[in-house]
């Protein structure tokens, strides 16, 4: 065999190896019961499939501590990248292990951390401001509001903080309850039960003017409670965030559920995949947060 043949053969082997190389990515979340998380992951997996990646989706079913163990497992398996959908501050031990191993981590609607190359998300500040302002304007700046929040998760905690500020800046708006529902099932069932209790404690028509929810599940639970209590006719304004299919159906029905912010879930998943691709290719991402656009959904554009 001559030198030319050897070089051609070696080049062919390199090309074959490159063609069959497959990036392995672990996607880890405790929130797969949430529709939004499911949509993020759908978008990520679709983008990953186009790149020929092997993706392992790991759900710890609400167990935050287990996320650390699953990150450590991914590091032991020497994956090429890790994507998280959880508060980075709660899983730092696992993230530090990934950093030590040189494995890049991308947040998918997670939070900022020195261990996270970039967090791909919607602008929670803007979403909360727009939905809270919608409530204030619909009530002409006066009324009693129930808030459904979830402070343990940074992207949702941010929304509550901004809504708090807007309601506090409106003198005749009073927040009569700030509820953190159980999210094991996504949040609908417990939010419904909590809203039922609030309706019973405030039986007079007009005693509850609006419900502001930091995501759609509590808003849907509150809607069920209002309708079942026979109080839909009081004009209680309900606003959520995410614009998931159930929320869109409720808005289209023209009842109490009036508005929700549409996040581009698949877009967030695709942008997270793009961030992973850049990192595994050796690129450095300088922006700690990558925002994907949102828009307010009401009866005027829900059919679009």
Domains, the chain, in order of start with CATH, read 3-120+265-292 (3.40.50.2300), 124-263 (3.40.50.2300)
- The candidate with the shortest Cα–Cα distance to 177, out of 188, 167, 162, 187, is 167
Cβ pair 211, 238 in contact under 8 A: yes
pLDDT in tens, 123-159: 999 999 999 999 999 999 999 999 999 998 888 999 9
- The candidate with the shortest Cα–Cα distance to 119, out of 229, 251, 271, 283, is 271
pTM above the 0.85 mark? no
**Which ranges of the chain have pLDDT less than 70?**
1-21
How confident is the model at residue 184, as a pLDDT? Answer: 81
User: Which residues face 289 on adjacent strands?
Assistant: 119
Cβ pair 123, 130 in contact under 8 A: no
pLDDT in tens, 57-82: 999 999 999 999 999 999 999 999 99
Q: Which long-range contacts (CB under 8 A, 24 or more apart) does 250-256 make?
A: 250/220, 250/223, 251/297, 251/298, 251/299, 251/302, 252/299, 252/302, 252/303, 254/299, 255/223, 255/227, 256/223, 256/226, 256/227, 256/232
């Amino acid at each position: 065999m001559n030198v030319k043949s050897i070089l051609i053969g070696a080049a062919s082997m390199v090309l074959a190896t490159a063609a069959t190389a497959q990036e392995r990515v672990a996607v880890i979340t405790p929130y797969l019961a949430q529709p939004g998380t499911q949509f993020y992951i759908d978008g990520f997996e679709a983008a990953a499939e186009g790149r020929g990646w092997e993706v392992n989706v790991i759900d710890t079913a609400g167990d935050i501590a287990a996320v650390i163990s699953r990150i450590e497992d991914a590091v032991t398996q020497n994956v090429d990248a890790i994507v998280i959908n959880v508060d980075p501050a709660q899983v730092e031990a696992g993230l530090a292990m990934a950093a030590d191993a040189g494995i890049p981590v991308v947040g998918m609607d997670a939070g900022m951390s020195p261990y996270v190359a970039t967090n791909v998300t919607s602008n929670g500040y803007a979403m909360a401001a727009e939905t809270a302002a919608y409530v204030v304007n619909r009530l002409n700046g006066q009324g009693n509001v129930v808030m459904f929040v979830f402070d343990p998760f940074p992207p949702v905690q941010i929304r509550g903080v901004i809504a708090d500020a807007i309601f506090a800046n409106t003198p005749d708006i009073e927040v009569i309850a700030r509820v953190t529902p159980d999210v094991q099932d996504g949040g609908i069932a417990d939010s419904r039960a909590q809203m039922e209790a609030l309706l019973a404690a405030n039986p007079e028509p007009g005693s509850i003017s609006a419900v502001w929810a930091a995501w759609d599940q509590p808003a849907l639970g509150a809607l069920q409670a209002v309708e079942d209590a026979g109080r839909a006719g009081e004009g209680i304004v309900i606003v959520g965030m995410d614009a998931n299919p159930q929320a869109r159906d409720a808005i289209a029905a023209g009842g109490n559920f009036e508005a929700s912010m549409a996040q581009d879930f698949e877009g967030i998943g695709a942008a997270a995949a793009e961030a992973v691709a850049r990192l595994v290719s050796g690129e450095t991402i300088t922006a700690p947060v990558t925002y994907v656009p949102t828009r307010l959904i009401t009866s005027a554009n829900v059919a679009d």
